[in-house]
Structure formats: C-alpha cells, structure tokens
A and B are shown apart, each in its own frame.
Chain A
C-alpha cells in the first residue's frame, strides 16, 4: 500500500512539472494549471487513504472551511486586486508549512521523545521560513490594500535589530537540535520568526512590492520543501523546490528591471522612495511643460499611423483598462497600428499589467515586453503613457547622479510625440522629477486615467 502511495506521489510530482511547463505559452497555460490541480487532487486522495489517518472529522471540517474561503476569494477578487490576493495566498501557504512542522514536533515530543538531528533541524527551518512568510505576506497584503502604509518605513536600529533576531533564531535552532525536548525554545523561535516577517517587509515601499511578493512566493515554496524534509516526502520537496525556483527567478527579473540588488530592495531602498507629492525643493523645473486637452489630442491622433501605449500602476489605480481598450478599438478602426509596451516592474506584481489588459480583452500578442519593443519607439508616431513615471524617465540613461541611473527604461522619448497622462506633475515612486515632461516632443494630458481615456475616445469618435 505504501508503495502505491509513493507511486501516486511521483505521478503528482510529474503533473506539477508538466503543469508549469505548459505555462510557457498562453495557448496551453490553462491546461497546464488544470494538470497541476489534478496532481494536487491525486496527492490529497492518496494521502486520505493512508493507514496513519484514523479519524476524518477534523479533516472534513478543515477542508470545508478552507475550500470555502479559498473559493470565495478566488471568485470575488477583482483583477486590480490580484497582487493582494497573491500576497495573501503566499502567507497561507507559508503559515500552513510552519503549522505542519510544529505539529510534527509536538507529535514527536508527546510520543517517543526521540528526535533525529536532521528532523529537528528541518523542523526549525520550516518554522522559521514559514512564519516569516506568513506575517511578511500579511504586511505585504496590508500595504497593497492600503491598510498599512505603502511608504518606506524606517525604524531605529533597523538593520542591527533584524540581524540580531535572525542570529538569535539560528542560535536557538542549534540549541534545539542539541536539546530537542526544549519546547519553550521552539515557541520562542516561532514568536521571533513571526516578528521578523513583520520587520522585514514593513520597510519595503509600495512600488518595490513586485520584488517583495516574488520573494515571499519563493519562501512559501522553500517552506513547503522544508516540510517535505521533516516528513521525508519527496513530492513535497519537489513541489516546494519548483515554487521556490519560480519565486527566485521572478525576484531576479524584478530586481534587474530596477537595476537594483536584492539587498538594496530588501533593506529599504531608495532614500526618498515612496515620498509622493511635489518634487523636493532644490530640484528646479526645466522650463514649461506643454499641456493638451482631449480635443487637441484627438486631432493629433487622427492623423498618425502607429501608437504605443505604456501602462503603469496609475492605470490599475484608476481601473482604466477597459477605457484604454475602447480607445485602442477606436484607433484601430481608423487603421492605426496599436501596441502596448510593458515594463517588467510596471504595477505591483510581475505581469500585473498583462492580466489587467487581458481582463479588458486586449489580445496578448499586442502586449510586448520591454526588450521586444524598445527599438520600435523611433518609428512610432505617438507613445501614450498612462500612469507610469519612473520607468520612462530618460535620466536613467544619462544622469549619473539620479537614483534611478542605470535602470532599464522604455525609450518613449524616441517616439515622434510622447503623450503623458497623469493627474499632476507630482513625482513618481523614486521621488525625483521626470525630465521627460519638459522635452520638446512631450505633451502632458492631465486627468484621471479613466476619465481622460473616455474623453479622448469620445472626441476621436466624433472625427
């Protein structure tokens, strides 16, 4: 019987691998996700017939509550709320791993009282990573939902404190491995790990959330893997490692998209980051900006042949994706070629803009990644920026004193005309002026993204 279980676990592991493999194309992605879900179902069913399970009451209660909450979340969440949703799910995954590890410890503690060194060590690691993921994700969720401040939070002795707590956990971990029956120490490790999660994510600013969410995603996988070590189950190890690798790759892509090291993001990043409002004193405006209204802009667009949209977090905040789609359709009816340029860190999580535009029924082959479209801006008549700022700031290319110097940007300024839709001239996340606004080929189109796009579409339709 045990052999059957392990064979089914192997099949489930293969399902996860093929499930992720099928995510390499949008055509097969849905099928891939269903394959992963099938793998999960197999794993659950074969575990339920395990002889060690004697009673099903608690299992049924837990499964019904969890499934109901999960289903409600999944069906109710709006596409703009996806970063929060993923943040929250990361947290539950990490929390579950920590709980399982502690339950296993408690079972051994009450039972034989005998601990293998490797078991205790992996229990400690699972508890540490799982607990940090749990509270860290709750803070990330709070920041994205607006419950916790999205600004960079600094507190006294931030780095020494975190380093000390982490060292304390490791020291306590070593102690427990040597003296495994010291349950108080384990409880202490749990408490400090939970605190660490809060302290580590709190300093990270709103626009750095893509990195934080990706990293927490990775942690939730590693935590599952560690639980696999505790239970000596290869399927958990494999599934967790896949997720851990996935989160890590996304983290690296996000960091590269901002030209920053992981340490820089995790330790609280840009000095003035997250300070919204007018540019700080001392940064002098570089002349006058040219502003246009919907009618003038419609006249301009009526005579062009190619347009590239550059969406940013502002589009998500204003829920403007459907209005942008309408504008796209109107432009296309006039024979204008329309595409979208997506910066890797646009929005609050990897791929955020793509999901919003997919929701608005923009075909995915029109959404191009930065490296695929950046050379096309010089041959483009109009680039329309909707709620993006730092990712189109040309200072990143030439101003060595700028905090964003070296960050890869979308070369919107090479287009014949750049239209920037923004609510005001306020600075972006990096807290710096955007010289693009003062360029001779730049036109400011002020207003809320949704209203502005609706007005522009109406003007265009009347022509």
Chain B
C-alpha cells in the first residue's frame, strides 16, 4: 500500500465515520439494542479477509488462522443478523 493509497483509505474512513454519526443519532432509544446487535453483525464483514486467508490452497498457520477467523466471523454474522431479526419482529404498534 503506497502513501497516496493509504491517504485515500483514510479519507474513506473519516467520511464513513461522519456518515455513521449522522445515521446513528437518528436511531430512537427504543431500538438501541437491535442497533447494537445489528451493527455487530455488520462488523463481521471481516469475514471477507478471513475467506481470503483460508482459501490460499496450502495448509499452514495462515490458512488455519483464517479458518478460525471464518468460524468467529460467521458466528458474528449469522448470530447477529438472526437475533436482530428476532427482536425487530417483536416491535409492534397498536
């Protein structure tokens, strides 16, 4: 990663934080728990890196760590989205 590339990623990071602040301040307190579990599932996006590590073909430390990372990230993704859906189903208005 060269200097300019790094700077571009920092741009994206900073702007995304601002988008995050704008979006999340509009989430009502009643949905704060689903927000947490749902955003948690999104942080399982690391799965992308895990897949790339585990699929390199050989069996070595790198691919084994990648496989464990897949297990962790999938728990996060599947568990997070499912439990959030379970919760949100319950929120009803008269």
Contact = CB atoms under 8 A, between A and B. Distances in A.
A378 interface: no
Tell me the interface secondary structure of chain B in the complex: helix
A19 interface: yes
A426 interface: no
Given A23-B35, A67-B74, A96 B50 contact: yes
Which of B20, B35, B74 has the largest number of chain A CB atoms within 10 A? B20
Contacts, number: 393
Contact of B72 (A27, A93, A354): A93
Which of A63, A96, A350, A369 has the largest number of chain B CB atoms within 10 A? A96
Which of B36, B73, B81, B86 has the largest number of chain A CB atoms within 10 A? B36
A99 B42 contact: no
Contact of B52 (A30, A52, A224): A52
Contacts of A369: 28-30
Given A47-B51, A110-B60, A367-B30, A116 B1 contact: yes
A20 interface: yes
Contact of A26 (B47, B55, B57, B93): B93
B40 A44 contact: no
A368 to B, nearest CB: 9
A213 to B, nearest CB: 7
Contacts of A63: 70, 74
Contacts of A359: 90
Interface in B67-88: 67-88
A23 B27 contact: yes
A237 B9 contact: yes
B92 to A, nearest CB: 6
Given A225-B13, A359-B90, A364-B92, A354 B33 contact: yes
B37 A358 contact: no
Contacts of B1: 116, 118-119, 229, 232
B13 A107 contact: no
Which of B35, B60, B84 has the largest number of chain A CB atoms within 10 A? B35
Interface residues of A, number: 114
Interface stretch (A74-82, A284-292, A299-307): A74-82
Contacts of B73: 66, 92-93, 96
Nearest to B48: A47
Given A59-B67, A96-B76, A221 B43 contact: yes
B94 to A, nearest CB: 5
B48 A351 contact: no
A234 to B, nearest CB: 5
A227 interface: yes
Given A33-B81, A61-B67, A247 B74 contact: no
B29 A344 contact: yes
Interface in A4-29: 16-17, 19-21, 23-27, 29
B45 A52 contact: no
Given A59-B70, A221-B39, A243-B43, A33 B29 contact: no
A25 B70 CA distance: 32
Contacts of A75: 82, 86
A145 interface: no
Contacts of A136: none
B55 A351 contact: no
Contact of B34 (A33, A100, A103, A227): A33
B77 A239 contact: no
Interface in A59-98: 59, 61-63, 65-67, 69-71, 73-75, 77, 79, 82, 85-86, 89-90, 92-93, 95-97
Given A237-B16, A242-B16, A358-B91, 4 more contacts: A40-B44, A58-B70, A96-B50, A245-B19
Interface of B: 1-3, 5-6, 9, 12-13, 16-17, 19-21, 23-57, 59-94
28 contacts: A17-B19, A20-B23, A24-B27, A29-B34, A29-B91, A32-B38, A40-B42, A43-B45, A44-B51, A52-B52, A53-B55, A53-B56, A54-B56, A58-B63, A59-B54, A74-B78, A90-B40, A96-B50, A220-B43, A224-B45, A234-B9, A242-B42, A245-B24, A350-B29, A351-B31, A358-B90, A364-B93, A365-B94
